[in-house]
């Protein structure tokens, strides 16, 4: 599949995934990690504008640290933003955190960690022709040579508005409205 087409597809898919997280459905996105993948959302800030951006990425946890990969290498805007502004926020199914991101592409265990991240990507890696469960080390290293490996260290837990579940009120209003409709329908009978 054409790489530009995939980038555009992921751009729209990412917006939908962020909406699901805001609706409180982050756990739902992570129910089937072997197929769909494991997702977190990174809140990062534009290197030129300072604007806030939300980007869902696949990840894996290795020895307590969170790792993700920039599959489009150094061209990814979110990667460039992390390099410029490494203080980020991360939304995980178990909470919302202030965190610090750093490029650890020269990590001595890079290949093993990268394999774990790609396994955590579910369908995404195979979509790009990378099969982390069956590729030998040399092939995987060659195929991911331009990928950047990022380690995310949690600093402190965060709470408040403007995070995961920000729109969870939608479900409460929808439920109340449906109950109202059911009750008014029963009264008419």
Residue-range definition of the domain harbouring residue 179 = 3-188
3-state DSSP assignment of residue 108: coil
Of the two residues 179 and 138, the one the predictor is more confident about is 138
Question: What digits encode the pLDDT tens for the residues 123-178?
Answer: 889 988 999 999 999 999 999 999 999 999 999 999 877 788 887 878 788 888 88
Calpha distance 59→41 (Å, rounded): 10
Q: What is the CATH number of the domain that holds 171?
A: 2.30.110.10
In the predicted model, is pLDDT for residue 28 greater than 70?
Answer: yes
Q: What is the pLDDT, as a whole number, of residue 1?
A: 57
Q: What is the pLDDT, as a whole number, of residue 102?
A: 97
Q: How many domains is the chain built from?
A: 1
In the predicted model, is pLDDT for residue 75 greater than 70?
Answer: yes
In the predicted model, is pLDDT for residue 185 greater than 80?
Answer: no
| pTM of the predicted protein model | 0.84
Q: How confident is the model at residue 87 (pLDDT cuts 50, 70, 90)?
A: very high
Calpha distance 158→92 (Å, rounded): 11
In the predicted model, is pLDDT for residue 2 greater than 60?
Answer: yes
Among 177, 175, 167, 174, residue whose Cα is nearest residue 26: 167
Of the two residues 59 and 170, the one the predictor is more confident about is 59
Look at the alpha carbons of 61, 65, 68, 69 in this order and tell me if their dihedral is positive or negative.
negative
Q: What is the pLDDT, as a whole number, of residue 139?
A: 97
Q: What is the pLDDT, as a whole number, of residue 181?
A: 83
């Amino acid at each position: 599949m054409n790489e530009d087409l995939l980038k555009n597809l992921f751009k729209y898919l990412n917006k939908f995934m962020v909406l699901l997280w805001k609706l409180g459905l982050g756990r739902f996105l992570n129910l089937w990690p072997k197929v769909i993948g494991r997702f977190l959302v990174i809140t990062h800030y534009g290197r030129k504008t300072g604007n806030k951006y939300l980007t869902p990425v696949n990840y894996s946890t290795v020895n307590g640290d969170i790792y993700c990969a920039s599959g489009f290498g150094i061209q990814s805007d979110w990667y460039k933003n992390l390099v410029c502004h490494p203080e980020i926020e991360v939304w995980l199914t178990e909470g919302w955190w202030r965190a610090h991101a750093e490029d650890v592409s020269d990590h001595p265990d890079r290949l093993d960690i990268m394999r774990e991240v790609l396994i955590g990507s579910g369908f995404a890696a195979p979509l790009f022709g990378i099969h982390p469960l069956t590729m030998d080390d040399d092939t995987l290293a060659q195929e991911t040579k331009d990928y950047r490996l990022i380690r995310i260290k949690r600093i402190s837990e965060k709470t408040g508005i403007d995070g995961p579940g920000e729109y969870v009120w939608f479900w409460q209003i929808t439920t109340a409205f449906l109950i109202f409709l059911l009750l008014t329908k029963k009264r008419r009978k």
